Amino acid sequence: MTITEAADQVIRERRSIYTNMFSTELVDDTIIEKMLYNANWAPTHKLTEPWRFVIFKGQGLQDLAKFQADLYKKHAEKNGNFNQDKYDKLKTKPLECSHIIAIGMKRNEIVPEVEEVCAVASAVQNMWLTASAHKIGCYWSTGGVAFYDDAKPFFNLGENDKLLGFLFIGKPKSEKWPQGRRKPIEDKVIWRS
């Protein structure tokens, strides 16, 4: 297989593998390190390199679960819309993972914010492709506490930075990789000559 064919294959085989599809087997830290190294090679406008990551594993997963569940409860009770099931899910879902990577964007005012968001998304795609190449499951969630400004300090982010979600990571229970579904690209493209 040529490098071009291998690149095509890993891009087309990238999937969202959810925590209910994870086994209890841990992902080796060397794979996480490769994911992070490849994330660092994402395109970046004006070389701002806005991606920031916090990796949770072991006790760190329990700390994250408690933090996000308690923060959700604080906000929900204040707004009068607390949901026990959501609280319980926030407190347990991280424990289904081998690792979780919090995805942050360090804001740099020399470029428009959308360019920084796109750079971080590219970095996440690089991590995701690396995970897929190693048959490691993951998915990107913007849920939990991602939209609470008072969550930022926990992830070492400043006031103008963004918490763009979490990459949930685990070894799949099954060696059978899910099939992809996409509508034809021709339905989404206009050529103008």
**Residue 121 within any structural domain of the chain:** yes
CATH code for position 169: 3.40.109.10
pLDDT, tens digit (0-9, with 9 covering 90-100), for 152-166: 999 999 999 999 999
Q: How far apart are CA 103 and CA 108, in angstroms?
A: 16
**Residue 12 within any structural domain of the chain:** no
pLDDT, tens digit (0-9, with 9 covering 90-100), for 37-85: 999 999 999 999 999 999 999 999 999 999 999 999 999 999 999 999 9
Counted domains in the chain: 1
Residue-level pLDDT at 178: 85
Residue-level pLDDT at 144: 76
Percent of the chain's residues with pLDDT above 90: 92
**Residue 7 within any structural domain of the chain:** no
Question: Domain span at residue 57?
Answer: 17-188
What pTM was computed for the model? 0.94
